[in-house]
Chain A
Amino acid sequence: MSASRKQILVDPISKNNPVVVLMLGICSALAVTAQVKPALVMGISVTVVLAFSNVIISLLRNTIPNRIRIIVQLVVIAALVIIVEQILKAFAYDVWGQLSVFIGLIITNCILMGRLEAFALGNTPFDSFLDGIGNGLGYTAILLIVAIAREFLGSGSLMGYTVIPESFYEAGYMNNGLMILPPMALIVVGCIIWVHRSIDKDLQE
């Protein structure tokens, strides 16, 4: 793999992270992060949709009439999301129930439209595929960090398995119920941005 391709894949994970640097795709990201499992499934779903829609649009890039460009992109994304939803409903029914409407909201996830416009329309299918995977992973990474923090502190478990030993609770430790409530997702992301920008000073505003 050439260096430039490697860069396409790796860059979005930290330096050009779609969530904490470009502010894209936050909408659907946070509501599913109270627990690790739905967050992981959501991350994988977005990565899959992103990679495939990038490839499809990249393949079609020379044929799409400019006037209906946005509609074509929306239709491709929506169709892929429906397919992912149907597969989840068939093979991971409980997670499908937990994610409910947020699977549908992948359609309006700004990362998708953003990458299609900015990358897939001007690059080869293979590069677009790598770009999709890279951005998907960057998105998944943030989702997982938030979900791990919230599930660990809020429920004392990870992936549904209790990790904080019983003796802690006996000694008076309590789960922080606030972590599970929606507003804490925002505050956790705020803290991630804080840490990220303290390390990478170029990003500071």
Chain B
Amino acid sequence: METVNIFIRSIFVDNMVFAYFLGMCSYLAVSKTVKTSIGLGIAVTFVLVITLPINYLLDTYVLGPGALSWLSPELASMDLSFLSFILFIAIIASIVQIVEMVVEKFTPALYSQLGIFLPLIAVNCAILGGSLFMQQKSFDNIGQATTYGLGSGIGWLLAIVGIAAIREHMSYSKVPKPLRGLGITFIITGLMGIAFMGFMGIKF
């Protein structure tokens, strides 16, 4: 039940874009058409689902306070959590690299769709943000961490596809000149965020 809650919450309530503004740079730059948005959204979800469990293991068995006690009891007082930023980002960067190579080798069709987005993702805040929030929320097991990754990714996908659909239609609207492009996108994202706040407190 807890896992279902985490899933639902991470999509609607703790939405990466609307609640924490993560991944905004690529969100704004790539959301001009629905098709590319779906590609980037899937790539983000994909990388989140892979990196979160790995970083969860890293946090639980290497970095956290006393996490090294499985090696020897003397290490129980070790706390390496100050290294988590650098190791998380290293893991993410290398995973993205590996994913890119694997996808290119085995599924060229998928690569032609996702390929151009993958390098963008290493520095997408939503990915690092996912790992950092995962660490802060201290999940009970790796399943919950993975669910959180999947949910956050889907939430991000939902947000970018939504804004892209609106932006496609906006070419027909009369937006004041200074507001065109970036400005109106911000305001619409804000309004979407307000709509998403209706999901607050949702629970099973």
Contacts and interface: CB of A to CB of B under 8 A. Distances in A.
Chains A and B touch each other in the complex, with CB atoms below 8 Å apart = yes
A24 B182 CA distance: 12
B190 A187 contact: yes
Interface stretch (A39-47, A105-113, A124-132, A167-175): A105-113
Interface string B49-80: 00000000000000000000000000000000
B20 A187 contact: no
Contact of A182 (B21, B25, B133, B181): B21
A185 B187 CA distance: 9
B179 A193 contact: yes
B161 interface: no
Contact of A194 (B28, B129, B133, B176): B176
Interface in B81-128: 82-86, 88-90, 93, 122-128
A107 to B, nearest CB: 6
Interface of B: 18-25, 28-29, 82-86, 88-90, 93, 122-129, 132-133, 135-136, 176-187, 189-194, 196-197
Contacts of B20: 31, 182
A186 B184 CA distance: 10
Nearest to A109: B125
Contact of B197 (A26, A104, A183, A191): A183
A105 to B, nearest CB: 5
Interface of A: 20, 23-31, 70-71, 74-75, 78-79, 81-82, 85-86, 100-101, 104-105, 107-110, 113, 178, 181-187, 189-191, 193-198, 201, 204-205
Contacts of A195: 178
A26, A113, A181: most-surrounded residue (chain B CB, <10 A): A26
A104 B180 CA distance: 32
**SS class, residues of chain B in contact with chain A:** helix
**SS class, residues of chain A in contact with chain B:** helix
B21 A186 contact: yes
A107 B93 CA distance: 12
Nearest to A189: B186
Given A74-B89, A104-B132, A105-B22, A27 B125 contact: yes
B123 to A, nearest CB: 5
B125 A28 contact: yes
A153 B128 CA distance: 32
Contact of A108 (B124, B136, B182, B189): B124
A198 B93 contact: no
A71 B187 contact: no
10 contacts: A30-B21, A82-B82, A101-B132, A101-B133, A101-B135, A105-B125, A183-B197, A194-B183, A197-B177, A204-B180
A109 B25 CA distance: 9
